[in-house]
Amino acid sequence: MSEVLRTDSFFNESLVGLFGPAQIVKSHEASAGKSFLPRVHVVPYGTTEIPKKAPVIESNTADRYTAHGDILLLDGKGNGRVILSQTANSNTVLVTEQCDNLCKFCSQPPKTRDDSILFAFAAQALIAFNSQDFVGITGGEPLLNRALFLQFLDTLKRADCHTPLHLLTNGRAFHDLSFVKEFKDALHNRDLICGIPLYGTNSAIHDDLVGEPGAWSETIDGLINAGNHGLPIEIRVIPTKRNVEQLSSIVKLALESISSISSISIMNLEQEGWAKRHWDELYIPPYQYVKMLEQTLKLQHRYKIPIRLFNYPLCHLPQHLRQYACKSISDWKAIYEEECLSCSLKSDCGGFFVSQKHKWTNPTMRII
């Protein structure tokens, strides 16, 4: 029996008892079966030549949304989720659920159990997938266990995996100069961009939002150190009621002080995890800060560094700002409301997070 839970998730009896990363095999591929990971065959419904030995998912949907070589993560109970997909517009692997910040809007609240095995899973997945495009590394805080992260980079290098990485970190670990040097050495010229959030021009606002006194000053040190060592940095800012007044100042502060910034991302608040709990305290609809967005976006012409908007459905932005919005929500995570279906801009629009369904989808500024 197999069941498609969502376009990226499957249940299959034959997967029961399998853990960790596995690689998808499409039977019609000539090179099928070269992976060192356990293999899972995905075939369209009604295929007659089903391989006998390996687990098989027989499903048209699964077949349509997966490609040969995609990586599944299996939970031992028969569930598998695609974590690295050749057809997705971005891929991300989770390396830990532990974190030293407790952000009010954390989409994935941290846990404290020892989960170091996730690093090993991530390394195996990346090596088997062997992408030439950027893959996101996320947590938790991936640099919380610094030794483990350096080891992770070393493992990838020794396995000859050159996948460029986008590391989502709070940057606090980089306040330690010697770690920055070790980190730089461990990269061995691998392309790596650090996505580092900065939520305030001072500690009062930032530390309150990330729930950790002292976090701002460590992040500032980290940004300066990482930038000075030539690590490309993407600065991320989430406008909330608390910090929206200083949005452009945050971006300006970063651009004038931090070296090696490659881009700035303004991210719309996601109704995920703890953000749901703090929604009324934090969320401010974009139409209430259009002027501030304009002022912030203008800075890209001054500093010649791109500033982009993420997770903003186009109908939540006035027309002249839509050009800066990126279609960031992965295809299979995006949903469109019924009235979106007839919208003329649907193909350019990121839509809404799947998980936000029935909560905050409300296409306030209908384009249609």
Partner 1 sequence: MKKLKNIVSMFAGFTALTTQADSGNAGLNISLPANFKFLDDIVTAPLNDFELPDFIASHRSHRSHSSHRSHSSHRSSAGGGYSVPKKSSPPPSRSNQQSEPLSQPTRPESTIPKSQDAIRLERVKQDKEKLQNIILRVQLTLNALGYYKGELDGIMGPQTREALNSYRRVNGLKQSETLDVATLNALGILIR
Partner 2 sequence: MQEYRLLPLNFRELDNKQVVISNLTNNYMLLESKEVLNQVVDGYAPAALRHHLEEGSFIASERDFESKVKLTTAAYAQLLRKDLLGQRLIMIVPTLRCDHSCTYCQVSRANQNETGFDLPSTTIPQIIEFIKRVEKPPYKIEFQGGEPLLAENFIKEFYTQFEKAVGSQNFSIIIASSLSLLNDDFLDFAKNRKIGFSTSIDAGHYAHNKHRKLITKNSFELMRDSVNKISQVLGGGRVGSVTTITKEGKDYHNDLVDVHLNLGLQDLFVRPVSPFGFAANRATSVLSNKEFVDFLRSLILRLVDEYHSGSVIIEHFFFIHYKRLINAAQGGYVDLMSPAGYAKQSLIIDYTGNIFGSDEARMIFRRHGGNQLILGNVKQPSATLDTHFSHDLLSSSFNFDIPGCNECVYQTACGSDPIYHLQEQGEPIGNKSESAFCDLHKRVFDLVIELMDNPINNSVFEKWLEYE
Which residues ranging from 331 to 360 are in contact with partner 1 (CB under 8 A)? 333, 353-355
Residue 259 near partner 2 by CB under 8 A: yes
The smaller minimum CB distance to partner 1, of residues 272 and 339, is found at 272
The smaller minimum CB distance to partner 2, of residues 54 and 321, is found at 321
Q: Measured from the CB of residue 186, what is the shortest distance to partner 1 in angstroms?
A: 13
The smaller minimum CB distance to partner 2, of residues 133 and 245, is found at 245
The smaller minimum CB distance to partner 1, of residues 44 and 273, is found at 273
Residue 273 near partner 1 by CB under 8 A: yes
The smaller minimum CB distance to partner 2, of residues 209 and 349, is found at 209
Which residues ranging from 290 to 329 are in contact with partner 2 (CB under 8 A)? 298, 301-305
Q: Are strands 165-168 and 192-197 parallel, antiparallel or unpaired?
A: parallel
Q: Which of the ranges 48-56, 85-93, 160-168, 251-259 carries the binding residues for partner 2, by CB under 8 A?
A: 251-259
Beta bridge partners, 168, equal: 195
Q: How far apart are CA 14 and CA 2, in angstroms?
A: 9
Q: Measured from the CB of residue 132, what is the shortest distance to partner 1 in angstroms?
A: 7
Q: How far apart are CA 123 and CA 175, in angstroms?
A: 26
> Token digits for 272?
């995920």
Q: Which residues contact 163 (CB under 8 A, 6 or more apart)?
A: 126, 129, 130, 131, 132, 133, 134, 135, 156
Which residues ranging from 209 to 238 are in contact with partner 1 (CB under 8 A)? 224-225, 227-230, 232, 234, 236
3-state secondary structure 291-340: HHHHHHHHHHHHHCCCEEEECCCHHHCCHHHHHHEECCCCHHHEECCHHH
Which residues ranging from 182 to 221 are in contact with partner 2 (CB under 8 A)? 201-204, 216-217, 220-221
- How many residues bind to partner 1 according to rule CB under 8 A? 95
Which residues ranging from 231 to 250 are in contact with partner 2 (CB under 8 A)? 245-246, 249
Q: Which of 122, 192, 224, 343 is the binder for partner 2 (CB under 8 A)?
A: 224
Residue 176 near partner 2 by CB under 8 A: no
The smaller minimum CB distance to partner 1, of residues 78 and 363, is found at 78
Q: Which residues contact 2 (CB under 8 A, 6 or more apart)?
A: 10, 11, 12, 13, 14, 57, 58, 59, 62
Residue 51 near partner 1 by CB under 8 A: no
Q: Which of the ranges 33-41, 60-68, 283-291, 340-348 carries the binding residues for partner 1, by CB under 8 A?
A: 33-41
Which residues ranging from 166 to 205 are in contact with partner 1 (CB under 8 A)? 166, 168, 177, 191, 193, 195
Q: How far apart are CA 67 and CA 305, in angstroms?
A: 35
Q: Are 331 and 89 in contact (CB under 8 A)?
A: yes
Q: Is 47 left (phi over 0), alpha (psi -120 to 50) or beta?
A: beta
Q: How far apart are CA 188 and CA 192, in angstroms?
A: 10
